[in-house]
Structures are given as C-alpha cells and as structure tokens.
Structure 1
Amino acid sequence: MSGIEQATFGAGCFWGAEAAFRALPGVVDSRVGYAVEAADEALQIEVVQVDFDPQVLAYSSLIEHFWGLHDPTSVDRQGEHGGVKYRSAIFHTNAVQAEQARVAKEALQESGRLNKPVATVILPLGRFDLADEAHQRYLEKNGLSSCQI
C-alpha cells in the first residue's frame, strides 16, 4: 500500500482504542500489541498501531482523536487499569511525528480544557510486539460496542 503511514498510541486498554481508530475514515488497518521504547526494553505499553492514508487523514487529526479516547492527565492508569503498561503515550517513528506530537501536547496543555498537566509521554518506537490473535478486534469479535475505562 503505497503512501500508507503508521501511528502508534497508548491510551490504556487497547481494545476500545482500536475500535475507535478503526472507525475513522482514512484508517486502512489497525492492530493491538505492546510498544517497547527504544531506550528501555523493560518498558512495554499496551498500544494500538494504526495504518492510515495521510491523503485522507492527517497524523495531527489522529492525535486529536487520541486525546478524546482516554484521560491524558492520568499517570500510568486508565480507569480500573493501573501500571506502566497503561501509560498514555504517543510513539513516533520519525522526526515529523515527534514534532507534531510535541506541538499537539503543548496545545492541549495550553488550551485550558484540562485541569491537570498532560501526562502523555512522547517516545521513539523501538519495537512493536503484536498481541495474541484473541486481542485483535476484540470488541468486534465479541459483539461489544465499547471498552469501559
């Protein structure tokens, strides 16, 4: 698929995030798994990896959607799920993504929409480990419409 790009986001439980991203026009595929930060092999975060057509959907629009999927002010916790693996994170694969993520985070912080600091980390993607097949499109496979977080 020529021109298709990837984006990787950690928004707590990956099932709901995957379903929400899949519904966006311009998203051509997605998968859930675990992102490993380039400098720390021990740091594994539940993520959704999204393949998208940047001619239809801008990376910056994906980030805006990401903010609405979870509480970006929560440190290592989303709802009942706690621990580092549920950290709010944007993993980038190039300098353009890193800069757009940084600018979006600053804009959200300065917007006044949140009453606490944005805790989302912006990290280089070292590795993506695909989750078991049972986790892929989990909500869709199980007739669920949302994931409680």
Structure 2
Amino acid sequence: MKKKIFIMICVLASVAITIIASFHYYSAQKEKQYATTAVPYLLRVIPELSKWDPAVAQKYMSATFMQKTSAAKLASALKALSRVGELQDLGKPHFEEVFSDKDRLVVSYTVAARYSTGDAEITIAILDLNDAFSVYRFNIRSKALAR
C-alpha cells in the first residue's frame, strides 16, 4: 500500500515538473522570438508616450484601445501620468508573458524607468500584428503618482 502511494506521488511529481518545464521552455522561446522585434519597438515607443501628448499617443495605441477609450479620457489619463515628469532613463524591457485575448496575441513587458520625479516601473502590453505592433495597455507605477 505504501509503495503504491509512493509511486503515485512520484508520477504526479514527474507530471507537474514536466508541465512546469514545458511552460518555462515555451516562455523562453517566446522571449527569444520577441527580443529582436518587440524590444526595439518598446525602446522607441515608450519615450514617445512619455511626452504625454494625446496626439502622439494615439498614433501608437491599438484600435482596440481607442475604441474603448475616448480622446478626452486618453488626454485625462496622460495628464495624470505626466505627474511623473520627464523621462530621464529607460531600462531594458523585461519579458513577462504572451497571452491571447480573444483573437489577438498580446505580449507583455515591464520596464524600469527614471523620470524627473524619481523611479517608476512601466507595464506595457503590445498587440502582435504579425508585421507590426501597437500598444494595447500602458501603465506606470511611481511614488509620484501616489501623491
């Protein structure tokens, strides 16, 4: 009886390890795939979004985002985010995940940044449009925004 339980635990542990290893492998492959396309895009787009200009931001935002958000709401959100100040330094984007949202493929990154008011962490999700990208979500965490 103890031997059967031990064998069952070993089998379940092996299955769990295989599943976890598979997810890590898949994630590593996706990270490698996007390193040459998405990362340069992010390094170009984040400074543009950090100008806090609604007209500039609209050029980079996805159609899905713009359908859900009015121009007035976008301007208001950018005005609130502008409290972090001017972008001074941008770290290397850190791959988080790839996920499917309905029929769209979304790639998510976090990026350490320094603005004139201090350090911040940017979370940005971009739509993979096969031959291009567009911003699906853009968020900043900073002490300057907590005030």
Question: Do both proteins adopt the same fold according to a TM-score greater than 0.5, normalized to the shorter chain?
Answer: no
Using the size of structure 1 for normalisation, the TM-score is 0.23
Q: Which has the higher contact order (CA 8 A, sep 6+)?
A: 1
